[in-house]
Amino acid sequence: MITLNRKKARFISVAQIMCLYVVAVFESYAVENTDALNDRQQAIIPIAALTASGNISELKSALNAGLDNGLSINEVKEIFIHSYAYAGFPRALNGINAYIQVMDERKQRSITDKLGNEATAVPTDYDANAYGNKVRNELVGRDISNRTTGYAGFVPTIDKFLVEHLFANIFYRDVLTIKDRELVTISILAAIPGTEAQLTSHIKLSLRVGYSPVQLLQFTQVLKDKVGQDSAIRAQTVLKEVADIALKNSEISLVKISKDDSVTLGALDKFSGIAKVTSRFESPVSSDYRGAMVEFEPGARTAWHTHPKGQTLIIISGKGLVQSEGGDIQQMRPGNVVTIPPNTKHWHGASSDSSMSHIAISAPDNGETVNWMELVNSDK
């Protein structure tokens, strides 16, 4: 607890007091280490991630669940305010419009939601630069107020915006805590491909503000269940690299039987004919592998594609065909195991007179398992 001498307190501005409060908050977070994310925290994750990915239909479900699990109306609004700094205005505005629809529907169902607190107004002597630098320095654990290298040295204006708008004007808004904001941030970054560097930085910050390894593993599970496998794998990969946080064999003490009944049709730009993807699975120990069963109707095939770490196909039924670029078309039969080397351009599918199904297994590289290319000529 930070205390102030009464006489000296008269000469300290409100902004300075807020800076001292930031220090106290970080000190309290450093010793906080609970075993699990609470319902409210779990509700924040899909709202932020689905806003960033632009999945509006799933976002509406997440918004309803969030309000049902303790988030106030203003806290949800604040997630969108925070998200625009990381995902952009278009995604944030789309999310807000979806939220308006959800609120209208809840009112029609006579659901009364908690409004929650409004953000504290900034004082007249508020210094955005000083406050923003204080917040960012406390987050990273060192003074980076006057950097002259990297992006800050190359484009100093963007660093000024980050300090004075993001870490000052947005972080000053106390509708969400700093710890809440880090959860929002890593949820957003996990949903955006290509932001692994930023996700790595903010996973480190999440550990600094008090999230435990167990909670961050739970974070990846919520991503998998409520957002999508790609986001979860991206977060799992970063967690393992940042803090060697991965499920250990001792944590998997029982045999687990599961079934994924969801069916996805192969996209028209990735498959010729009809192909159904079902029974998705992934490694329970880490993000070492993932896979699914793919069922091809007669004549259906993939587009040309590569896998950064290769792929294994196990043929389950029917007759299939596979070809690597420049090679002959080879036949596949039930029981065949097909090994495709890393970064080898190829396609596979069913023969013209038979359906075919196979299990496809591949390992992700930076969260991605496949690089899609053009469709296969129909004369092959």
Q: In order of start, what are the domains of the chain with their CATH numbers?
A: 264-372 (2.60.120.10)
Confidence check: pLDDT of 246 > 50? yes
d(CA 71, CA 106): 14
Average pLDDT over residues 2-24: 43
pLDDT given at position 377: 84
The predicted-structure confidence for 262-297, as pLDDT tens digits, reads as follows 788 999 999 999 999 988 887 765 557 889 999 999
With a threshold of 0.85, does the pTM exceed it?
A: no
Alpha-helical regions (H) of 127-177: 128-140, 150-154, 156-161
With CA atoms as reference, report the closest residue to 198 among 340, 309, 52. Answer: 52
Confidence check: pLDDT of 227 > 80? yes
Q: Which residue has the higher pLDDT, 379 or 135?
A: 135
With CA atoms as reference, report the closest residue to 127 among 16, 10, 4. Answer: 16
Confidence class of residue 346 from pLDDT cuts 50, 70 and 90? Answer: very high
Average pLDDT over residues 225-243: 85
pLDDT mean across residues, the chain = 86
d(CA 57, CA 53): 11
Kindly report which listed range (74-88, 194-208, 230-244) carries the lowest average pLDDT score: 230-244
The predicted-structure confidence for 58-113, as pLDDT tens digits, reads as follows 999 999 999 999 999 999 999 999 999 999 999 999 999 999 999 999 999 999 99
DSSP letter, residue 251 = G
Alpha-helical regions (H) of the chain: 6-9, 14-31, 39-53, 56-68, 73-87, 89-108, 128-140, 150-154, 156-161, 178-190, 196-208, 213-226, 229-243
Task: Please check whether residue 89 is in contact with residue 130, taking contact to mean a CB–CB distance below 8 angstroms.
Answer: no
Task: Please check whether residue 198 is in contact with residue 189, taking contact to mean a CB–CB distance below 8 angstroms.
Answer: yes
Task: Please check whether residue 329 is in contact with residue 322, taking contact to mean a CB–CB distance below 8 angstroms.
Answer: yes
